Structure formats: C-alpha cells, structure tokens
Chain A
Amino acid sequence: QKEVEQDPGPLSVPEGAIVSLNCTYSNSAFQYFMWYRQYSRKGPELLMYTYSSGNKEDGRFTAQVDKSSKYISLFIRDSQPSDSATYLCAMSDSQGAQKLVFGQGTRLTINP
C-alpha cells in the first residue's frame, strides 16, 4: 500500500462547479501538506501549503487537513477551463519541503 493514496480520476465537471479533490495517507508523522497543479509538459506549481490540521483559503482554492482521519482535501470554487490540469497532493514529515511524498495525481477537466 502506498503511503499516500489519491484517486487518479479522470474527473470531468462543468464550468462553474465546485471541485473536491482528496488524498488519504498512512504515515502519522506527516505534518506538512501541499497541493500542486501540473499542466501537461510542465513542472508542478505550488497552490497551497498548510501545516497540521485546519483550513486554509486562497482565492477560489480551499485546503483542508484532518490529521485525525489522515485525510486532506482541496476545493476549487467557480471552476474555470484554465483549472484543467493534474492536481497532486504532497506531504512531508519534520524534514519538510526537502523530501516530499506525492499522491498519484488527479486529472481534472473543466468543460466550458
């Protein structure tokens, strides 16, 4: 079993919908949680960075971490066609950003 599990999709939704992306993990040492967006043939782009449990909001994006359930989520409000990409969750323990464990990535398509 992988340390981080993420549904690879693909996920297809209409423009304007609320998108929910999720990851589960097994390593209770993980403390730092990130979401990256990766367009085709590009490197991952950092979207959200959170520490421990709780919510964090940035524009149309909201990240939630529930350490008790070992479950993290990314919500995208008012989704746009330009949000179409692969979304990767990543996490790390006390070693931080220098050694990330990634989920498989969810391919998301927003249909106009």
Chain B
Amino acid sequence: KAGVTQTPRYLIKTRGQQVTLSCSPISGHRSVSWYQQTPGQGLQFLFEYFSETQRNKGNFPGRFSGRQFSNSRSEMNVSTLELGDSALYLCASSSGLGNTEAFFGQGTRLTVV
C-alpha cells in the first residue's frame, strides 16, 4: 500500500514569488492536512481538506491557501513568499471519518532566498 507522496521534495524560491506544493494521500483516505515545521515554532497546523472542502483552518495569513481535488490529492499555495516561510511543509493523510490516525509524507523543504 503506497504511503503519502509529496512533491517536490526540495524547492528554492525568491522572496515575492509564489509556490505550489502537492500531496497525494493514501489510497482511500479523504482527508489531507497541511503543517509547517520550523526549528523555532515546531509543527503548526495550516489547514485540512476533506472531500474537496476546507474543514479546518489554523492561524496562518491568507497568503497560505489550498485546495483538494476529486481524487483527494491536495495542493498548497503560498503567495508573495517571505524569508520566514522557509520551512518543511508536511501533509498528513487520514480517512477523515471519526478520529483515526494521521500518516505523514516526507515533506517538501522550501527555502526562500
């Protein structure tokens, strides 16, 4: 059974640019959550999508957005990149029904220069 796949693994962008990250969840899972991991703040919840709808949202500015497609794949977009957006972005896959385990991908390491 394939795990959670995130692409790309590494990304370098310039301040002011925008970036799109992709996450394919475990087959059959309908919920995708996104997290930002930095040395200073640790792992912080960005948002969660379930059946193409945003169901939960963390405390991040509107520059961070996402969407989910009918096949449950999800994308996260960050516009007008800032140096502080440099982080490991992780997505987690779960069934989305009831309280079940969340499984993480390997992450996308974004560096903003």
Contacts and interface: CB of A to CB of B under 8 A. Distances in A.
Interface of A: 31-32, 34, 36, 41-46, 49, 51, 88, 90, 92, 94-105
Interface stretch (B64-72, B78-86, B93-101): B93-101
Nearest to A4: B42
B48 interface: yes
A36 B103 CA distance: 10
Contact of A32 (B48, B99, B105): B99
Contact of B92 (A49, A95, A97, A105): A97
Contacts, number: 72
Given A44-B90, A95-B56, A100 B102 contact: yes
Interface residues on B, range: 20 to 34
Interface in B43-67: 43-45, 48, 50, 55-56, 58
A9 B56 CA distance: 31
B104 A97 contact: no
